[in-house]
Copies of this chain bind each other. A is one copy, B any other.
Amino acid sequence: MPRLHPIGTVREGVAGHMTERLVVIGGDAAGMSAASQARRRRAADDLEIVAFERGHHTSYSACGIPYWIGGATQGPDALVARTAAEHRARAIDLRLGTEVTQIDPERGRVRSRDAAGTEQWTGYDQLVIATGAVPVRPPLPGIDAPGVHGVQTLDDGEAVLRGLGREGVRRAVVVGGGYIGVEMAEAMLRHGLDVTLIDRNEQPMTTLDPDMGRLVRDALEGLGVRVVSGTSVRAVLTGDDGRAGAVATDDAEHPADLVVLGLGVRPQTGLAAEAGLPLGAHGGLLTDRAMRVLGTGNVWSGGDCVEVLNLVSGAMQHIALGTHANKHGRIIGINIGGGYATFPGVVGTAVSKVCDVEIARTGLKESQARAAGLQYVTAVIESTSRAGYYPDAALMTVKILAERRTGRLLGLQIVGREGAAKRVDIGAVALTAGMTVEQMIGLDLGYAPPFSPVWDPVLVAARKAADAVAADSAAG
């Protein structure tokens, strides 16, 4: 029977002032941003902050792990935005290696267990649930064998690097062709490995339409990655030493000295579900615009464990991305701190790269538009990142989806080389503003030969999309 140490909630601070307690579950981006922001607005005698983190790091960049593994960046310390010591110096009572095992919203307390197995209840006046996401790990034979790696935590990164350091490692199989998959394919290439990427879909990078995903596939193949698509992984086959030795798909076996899983993540909301808090169709917590969990008064949530409103589709969505987590945390901290801030929703922007191929998307792809009941026209163009006559002008392909009749921008996808990806921000702002592609044609974007052709590629695509809208309308 574990020992339980109750801690009271509201205590007297200086001069009869009531000190509130904020409890944060999860010491990464959303949780610690909330804690930091709340602390900035409320001193320690006004707000006590206790943060529980199961692992041994705070505020680290999971997005940086593939680059660390690939040797492009230092790690793991460099990936930590703010250390435990820094948080503690700001009067945040951070409990590393301590897992919250239960939330009791009725009585306003959480139960935790530290590394020594000591359990206790901690009362809260305000609670932030920032439990993040867990990698999808299908229950396949051999999936837990040594040599099979997720890429979610700094510990995962260390494990992959140890795996790469083993004798005779020369073949890597990456399972999943999304962001983590293609970034890990690059990392494995940088270690000189023979890389196979397996994806069950027609093309990798299914956050893009298949015609754009095809360009990513071509790029991967051009870099020497063997892309196996349209087939599912059935098992990880192990050798005599019990380690992963191959990945079996529907119709083939792919030898592997190292297997990397990049199958996406799902919200880690088991605790919240047990506490009766509301989850959406994607398993994420549901919040209002201020990031307060629906139906509660003092429970907040943000980051990879919540669902967010997609402003283009009007539907809830789960997107695990550090930039959202940081925004959520800041908003929660401001609101707990007595200010006012809201999260408007997302438009679905994401950028990535594999070696020098840049990949970007925002808004809806075709299947998402259809699922939202939206009808659309498309335009695809090729242009260059700089004036055509300027050195290193690099080709890029830009695809736009625009709504039928209204011409409203619905989505933008870009695959190209240097200078391609961040152009997606033009679309992100235009989507947020509800602009039509006709309006976009008039946008006063930065032009000079080293930075853009006289018509920015996004505007060329907008022009073609506006023509498509007009032609479609004319046709009825």
Contact = CB atoms under 8 A, between A and B. Distances in A.
A344 B345 CA distance: 28
A342 B74 CA distance: 51
A72 B454 contact: no
A455 B73 contact: no
Contacts of A172: none
A227 interface: no
Interface in A349-395: 349-353, 358, 360, 362, 387, 389-391
Given A61-B387, A425-B426, A445 B327 contact: no
Interface stretch (A46-54, A242-250, A263-271, A428-436): A428-436
Scoring A347, A348, A389, A451 by chain B CB atoms within 10 A of each residue's CB, the highest score goes to: A389
A443 interface: yes
Given A419-B422, A439-B344, A64 B447 contact: no
Number of copies: 2
B451 A391 contact: no
Contact of A447 (B322, B345, B387, B429): B322
A346 interface: yes
Interface size class of A (residues with CB under 8 A): 35 or more
Contacts of A441: 327, 341
Interface of A: 29, 61, 63-64, 67, 72-75, 78-79, 81, 179, 321-324, 326-327, 341-353, 358, 360, 362, 387, 389-391, 419, 421-426, 428-430, 432-433, 435, 439, 441-452, 454-456
21 contacts: A63-B454, A64-B390, A64-B449, A73-B449, A322-B454, A326-B455, A347-B444, A349-B445, A351-B452, A353-B448, A353-B450, A419-B422, A422-B423, A425-B425, A425-B426, A425-B445, A428-B446, A429-B445, A432-B433, A432-B439, A433-B435
